[in-house]
Amino acid sequence: MTVQGSQRFTGRLRVPGDKSISHRALMIAAVGRRPCTIRGLSDGDDVTRTRQAVEALGARAEDRGSGEVAVAGGLAGAPGPICLGNSGTGIRLLAGLVAGYPFTTTLDGDASIRRRPMDRIIEPLSAMGASVRGSGASGTLAPLAVEGCPLQGIEYTLPVASAQVKGAVLLAGLRAEGPTTVHEPAPTRAHTEEMLATAGVTVERKDGSVTVWPGEVEPPRLIGIPGDPSQAAFWLAGACMAPGSDLTVENVYLGPARGGFIDVLARMGADITVDSDSGDIRACTSELRATRVTADELPGCIDEVPILAVAAAAAEGVTVFEGIGELRVKESDRVAAIIEMLKVLGAESEIEGEALSVAGVGRLGGGTVDSHGDHRMAMAAAIAGAAGPGSIAVEGFEATATSYPGFARDLHHVTGWSP
């Protein structure tokens, strides 16, 4: 797919429902005591896999039209292995969800998932009493066999800040004896604890930690899912880079640990405004300058690093992203993929330890970028192509379907570009 350059990003856009919230909404509804309706569920493949997973486990999900899905809970065990495709969030959260149920669940995924580290959930779930057997020589890779066992609440400190691991432990805590506490080295997205609290679960949040107590889950009758900030970031960064742009993304989730990319763009001089009441974010053409993204703030914008790296390439000066090691174990080795993309754009980049530096060139170059099957790399390359003066051929553009099946349609909507 080739994206022609010199486009303007204009008008108004509503991005898909937040992917992280969608996963959790389905899982919490699947163990709920009463039916609920989810409105605005993400239509990406990742979330579709999670829906299929909870249905395989015994929950019922029914499309009601207009983007609504009715879910009736009740887990009884799946008749065979469950494939989560490319979804790291899906496989890790589900491992925690089923760990306390009296059946064995096999969780698997695609080739990318089978390379991603699962020891980070195996360790705490095992400490709670669950039996989680991984594959590979290390026994820590997917597929995972999760044998449900009586669980004991624990106090666990995350070695690496991870909303997925935190969520897996908290979901397991729903069926444990006694409270379960997770301590975080840095703040991560709070969707699991937020949604559990709205579902009647006793949750206590303090600086750097969250505790849940076991109990019945009673989800609200209606769960509304706002727009995904990680998807919004691509369009807003594009509007900042492309001359003549003025774009508003509507109804974006503005909760904890998800707006880091806004702070980064603002420090770079972006003309960006946020309406905290509506969730609307407006961005206009800006003169971008370099900044430093610290390791402490990276968890709040980790999924946005590919597009922020593109913005850094279009900026003046050298931008530094610290603590980027976690990006090596995403859907692709994103550090390597970003460096490869930046070279096509004409920007020089350098790795020193856990830091990535990007020397901005202002005017983005063109060429061919391989997404390596990573949806965020595909979208970042496409936005770079539209915002720059040339064009970019994106190999593996179809990976956008993982989280954003309508990405090409929306690119046409805001720029007029046609595939």
Give catalytic residues, as residue numbers. 303
Tokens of 188: 């991560």
CA angle at 44 for the pair 42 and 45, rounded to the nearest 5°: 135
Residue with tokens 């976690």: 326
